Amino acid sequence: MNAAISSVDENKTARSRLARLNDWVAQTAALTRPDAVQWCDGSDAEYAALLELMQKDGSLLPLNPDTHPRSWLHRSDPRDVARVEHLTFVCTSEKDAAGPNNHWMAPADGHRKMDELFAGCMRGRTLYVIPYCMGPIDSPLARCGVEITDSPYVVVNMRMMTRMGAAALTRIETEGSFVKGLHSTGELDPDRRFIMHFPEELSIKSYGSGYGGNALLGKKCHALRIASWQARQEGWLAEHMLIVGIENPRGETHYIAAAFPSACGKTNLAMLIPPESYRDAGWKVWTVGDDICWMRPGADGRLYAINPEAGFFGVAPGTSANSNPNALACISHDTIFTNVALTQDNQPWWEGLEGTPALDWQGRAYDPANGPAAHPNSRFTVSARQCPSYSPRAEDPQGVPISAIVFGGRRPSLVPLVFEARDWTHGVLVGASMGSETTAAATGAVGVMRRDPMAMKPFCGYNFADYFTHWLGFEKPGAQLPKVFHVNWFRKGADGQFLWPGFGENLRVLEWMIERVEGRVGAEETAVGRFPAKADFNLEGLALSAEAAEELFAFHPGEWKAELLEIGDYLASYGDGMPPRLQQEASHILSILE
């Protein structure tokens, strides 16, 4: 009898949890006025029906079935090809909570602006309800969300990028909590395009864009901006980082989390193929994730990480047999390409591939006078399970233990190939002050050096000063924190050419890091960190001149003094909330340089 009563109570609780979701869907439908409402279950049949629908309306074009079976091309509006950081807002009750690193709007004003845009916007369209889970479906660190959208393109991409459908809905029934995301492509008018985040409400509203980062709300909007807010409250980290496992010849695997700004080689590093000499020696690389990492302290004091995503939304240009053979293999079938060019025989093409384009990313006959054939921020969406180096621990509910955290960016000078932070506080400063040249992943000028703390400048959902304080707070009794490193694959010589060959050779850098983690090699102390000793860094068999090797690890105190002065000014720009420990660390390094 008691068991029967308990079962009835549980059913009532589940229904009440879903009532919140049902009520929100009904309210949204009343506001947006769709012709139909479709709850997505993530099934193969649903996916096939959506593909057929988009093929009929011309929004998806089938690619060569012999070379790229079950793959498609989508062309977005030419005015809608990247993230729009200047139109992205964090709406908190207090402006200081969002911080100077975010565009802020009061929540009431943000809701009012967005609801005016959403009113009646889905007439003639279908409203899709997408339950999804960020992270392995049974992981205690995973978090669920529901995106409402009028874009079938968003639905099929979310199916690849998240654990979407019936299993996610079941978890929402069990937990009762989820992030609410409302999206409409609207009129694709840049003057009527906004992405609003309400972290205190765990909700997102995005209007006027069909581009991935603006429309796939589980990605940057949920997994970084909203999740970073959740992580601070709950004692974990939501970071713009790849996760890769490096297995050495002894059969030991170290997992590394690395933060680079978009289009700076995260996917290439996550899918790295060791050079032949390393493969022969027994080195292996395992891909856990290429873009986002959620970390939490484990019972043993170490940080454990999951990849909240289930797929890759990678930058196509530059992906080639030389730079990333694993990615090419991954996207040889069952892939959606966005804004790439086409060859004469209907294969996807972008700069970096062999062959010749026939049509550019806008569907025009290719003419070099019109610019690159593929848009510089053209993308591929594909399931992570298709990656040849996919890690057997990628779906581990408890995550993988992190041995090292790596920061990096595009710096043509000053910053060496690699250096190690002295301790956790210094490591947080290294991440907080990292700079990089901008890329085509966001609107605006390309090639401009800007500070991009932890590669989170466009993605942190709250005040950077509080974010740095949160990072520092992980150093506590019993913690066994990862070593922190900084890399720079992009240092150039006097001739303007890159000094380091990169790609697979980057394993040499990771090898030094792992040996530092294991205590097998020493390092040379400098004011700004620990540099590799020449005898401890493996350059054997590498076609690298002595001059290039010298410059890759050169330390110029005068230039670093100017850098530290800039860093000090940058930290001070966040006002009184900036943790004194970081400012003191920067001042300490500057005093040594002087």
User: What amino acid positions are annotated as catalytic residues?
Assistant: 264
SS3 of 554, please? coil
CA dihedral 397, 393, 235, 199 (to 10 degrees): -80
Q: What is the token pair recorded at 94? A: 């207090």
> For residues 24 and 17, what is the distance between their CA atoms, to the nearest angstrom?
12
In whole angstroms, give the CA distance from residue 538 to residue 193. Answer: 50
CA 226 to chain centroid: 14
DSSP state of 518: T
> Are β-strands 36-39 and 126-134 bridged in parallel, bridged antiparallel, or unpaired?
parallel
User: Which of 245, 377, 368 is CA-nearest to residue 319?
Assistant: 377
**83 in a labelled binding site:** yes
Residue 10 counted as an annotated binding residue: no
Q: How far apart are CA 190 and CA 207, in angstroms?
A: 10
d(CA 243, CA 134): 15
The C-alpha torsion from 346 through 350 and 351 to 353, rounded to 10°, is -60
User: CA neighbours within 13 Å on the CB side: how many for 172?
Assistant: 27
Consult the annotation and say whether 95 binds a ligand: no
Instruction: Tell me: is residue 212 an annotated ligand-binding position.
Output: yes
DSSP β-bridge partners for residue 246: 254, 285
DSSP structure class, residue 587: H
Is 22 annotated in some ligand binding site? no
Known binder of ligand: residue 436?
A: no
Ramachandran class of 282: left when φ > 0, alpha when ψ lies in -120 to 50, beta otherwise: left
Contact 223, 306 (CB under 8 A): no
| 198 and 174 Cβ atoms separated by less than 8 Å | no
> Residue 322 annotated as binding?
no
Is 330 annotated to bind a ligand? Reply is: no
The annotation status of 399 as a binding-site residue, yes or no, is no
Is 265 a known ligand-binding residue? yes
The annotation status of 324 as a binding-site residue, yes or no, is: no
Partners of 216 in the beta sheet? Answer: none
- 503 is known to lie in a ligand binding site: yes
The verdict on whether residue 433 carries a ligand-binding annotation is no
Listed in sequence order, the residues at least 6 apart from 563 whose beta carbon sits closer than 8 Å to its beta carbon are 414
The pair of three-digit structure tokens given for residue 29, joined into one six-digit string: 């439908």
DSSP letter for 68, please.
S
Q: How many CB atoms lie within 10 A of CB 255?
A: 23
CA distance 207 to 189: 9
Q: Say whether 263 counts as a known binding-site residue.
A: yes
Max CA-CA distance within the chain? 82
Is residue 128 annotated as involved in ligand binding? no
Rg, C-alpha atoms of the chain? 24
435 is in an annotated binding site: no
Q: How many whole angstroms from its chain centre is CA 461?
A: 14
262 is known to lie in a ligand binding site: yes
**DSSP letter string, 310-378:** SEEEEE-TT-STTT-HHHHHHTTSS-EEES-EE-TTS-EE-BTBSS--SB-TTSSBP-GGG--SS-TT-
> In 3D, which of 322, 334, 329 has the Cα closest to residue 387?
329
Say if residue 505 carries a ligand binding annotation.
yes
Helical axes 464-472 vs 227-234, angle rounded to 10°: 40
Nearest of 450, 453, 421 to residue 589 by alpha carbon: 421
Q: What is the C-alpha separation between 342 and 357, in angstroms, rounded?
A: 6
Q: Does 68 belong to an annotated binding site? A: no
Q: Say whether 379 counts as a known binding-site residue.
A: yes
Q: Give the separation between CA 591 and CA 161, rounded to whole angstroms.
A: 47
Residue among 291, 298, 175 at smallest CA distance from 235? 298
Annotated binding site for substrate: 83, 211-213, 262, 377-379
Binding residues for GTP: 263-268, 379, 410, 503-506
Q: Please state the residue numbers annotated as binding site.
A: 83, 211-213, 220, 240, 262-268, 291, 377-379, 410, 503-506
Q: Show binding-site residues for Mn(2+).
A: 220, 240, 291
